[in-house]
Amino acid sequence: MRGRAAAVALAVTTMLVGGARAGEAAPAWTVVASPNGGAGINLLQGVSCVTASDCWAVGSTFNAGAYRTIVEHDAGDGWRLVDGPNPGASNVLHAVACPAANDCTAVGYDAPVTGGAWKTLIAHYDGRTWAIVPSPPTGGAQVLEAISCRTATDCWAVGGPGPLVEHDSGSGWKLVSSAQNGGELTGVACGGPDDCWGVGNTALVHGDGQPLIMHGGSSGWTAVAAPSLGAAEQGGGFHSIACASATECWAVGGWWKFRSPNQTLVERGGATGWSVVNSPDVAGGLDNLRAVACSSDRCRSGGGSSLPGKPLILQESAGTWTLDRTADAPSDAFSLWGLACTPQGQCWAVGQHGAAGGGPQQTLIMSNQGSSSAPVPGAATAAPGAAGGGVPWALLGAGAGGVVVVAAVWLTKRRGRRAIG
């Protein structure tokens, strides 16, 4: 069972912008005011937008030895706290999906008593209030890490350990069999009805195992071959996945090699197989991709760096990845965990940042609705396990949907609840 990593292990996170057309500079990211859920450590981990003026963000706050959920809403006039579900002694929300303005579902975990075993937590918003909905018993201490809803009657949630897969077809959540022994899923996306992908790691600690890719539908899920990371001393895993179309999905995460810094990991695939794609890193940095989102714009991706206080933006153009610095961080220690984009490329990234004077971490929300910034050159490191830089993006073709990725430096190799306590 996974432990928890300290929140003080925050570091610089990376975002990638949306909304610019080929040949145009991408919009700059700016920090947006966001409230905290309590006086202790605060973290936002998931965000979903129905429209540019209807977004939800979820997470948790840690104070006095217990977690409480954070739920925030932006109706186009700024982010505000909303009463969230807290059924247990400790409660955390990891992700949220909103197929409609009056239909949002958030997932995570709660513990009935302080220090007790975790159990899955699912909450639903009906346009008025958030309420707990029944989650099927899993027979062990398990959590939900990610959710994807194509429609109000087709939602998938994944987690672990197990892995754990659940589906709601409109009549309530049910367990779905997953033919994989061990590991966890931390991202889920669907290219079409009953055509879904889950990604994560074969071990419970990212970096201790290998990337895990699973595919399935209501009849069950099975593991799919993931490209090798190369030498035996290399490991890694995925954090998130997004499908730009029924035939094109993007999985992002990080990988490591013995005595080498962590590096970003991007793979592109679908029913015909998966391939590693070159993704930029900062020399000597500790890099890891945390979230990915798709818009109707051209493809983009991102990487992370341990450069203090300076987000690094990655932008793809004509098959080449470049680094684009567009915004200063609110502090030297910050991290992004979730990302959402509208079809038009309006994006929001959520996470946490260090407080002035060394106080508890605060919620962080950034938006790409600022002024333009021209990209700057950046060197890309070779994809893992590939001679001469791996599989270039140009060989894979340009995507029909735009992809945006945010990243967090991998000082803590665990995800979700482990990041804040």
Distance CA 103, CA 96 (A): 11
Query: Into how many domains does the chain fold?
Result: 1
Note whether residue 363 is domain-resident: yes
Q: Which residues of 202-226 are buried (b: 16+ CB within 10 A; e: fewer)?
A: bbbbbbebbbbbbbbeeeebebbeb
Angstrom distance (rounded) from CA 55 to CA 415: 23
Residue 334 scores a pLDDT above 50? yes
- The identity of residue 293, as a single letter, is A
Rounded-to-integer distance, Cα 43 and Cα 281, Å? 25
* Nearest residue to 217 (alpha-carbon basis) of 201, 198, 245, 200: 198
The answer to the question of residue 333 being in a domain is yes
Query: What average pLDDT does range 370-394 have in this prediction?
Result: 33
Q: Mapping DSSP to helix (H, G, I), strand (E, B) and coil, where does residue 85 land?
A: coil
- Residue 103 CA, distance from chain mean position: 21
Asked if residue 147 belongs to a domain, the reply is yes
Domain with residue 122: its CATH number is: 2.130.10.10
Per-residue pLDDT at 322: 63
Predicted confidence band at 310 (pLDDT cuts at 50, 70, 90)? low
User: Which pair of tokens denotes residue 120?
Assistant: 């899955």
Give dist(CA 260, CA 247) in Å, integer.
34
Q: State the Cα angle at 120 between 119 and 124, rounded to 5°.
A: 140
User: What 3-state class would DSSP assign to 286?
Assistant: coil
Segment 246-269 mean pLDDT: 80
Q: Decide if 280 is inside a domain.
A: yes
For residue 2, is it within any domain? no
pLDDT reported for residue 359: 79
Question: In the prediction, which pLDDT does 304 show?
Answer: 43
Residue pair 338/351 in contact (Cβ under 8 Å)? The answer is yes
Give residue-wise pLDDT tens across range 16-33.
Answer: 333 454 445 556 778 899
Which pLDDT band holds residue 186 (cuts at 50, 70, 90)? very high
Give 222-241 pLDDT, tens digit per residue.
999 988 776 655 788 999 99
Which range has the worst mean pLDDT, 218-232, 250-264, 298-312? 298-312
- Angle (CA) 241-383-347 rounded to 5° is 35
Which of 51-65, 154-168, 386-400 is least confident?
386-400
Instruction: Give the N- to C-terminal CA distance of the chain in Å, as an integer.
Output: 15
pLDDT band with cut points at 50, 70 and 90 for residue 292: confident
d(CA 75, CA 73): 6
Q: Would you say residue 104 lies in a domain?
A: yes
Kindly state whether residue 1 falls inside one of the protein's structural domains: no
- Print the domain residue range for 193: 7-382+391-419
* Reduced 3-state DSSP string for 93-109: EEEEEEEECCEEEEEEE
- Chain-wide mean pLDDT for the chain? 76
Give the Å distances, CA to CA, from 259 to 10, 253, 270: 21, 19, 32
Write down the pTM of the prediction: 0.83
| Contacts of residue 53, Cβ cutoff 8 Å, sequence gap at least 6 | 74, 75, 76
Residue 199 CA to residue 123 CA, distance in Å, equals: 23
User: Does 395 reside within a domain?
Assistant: yes
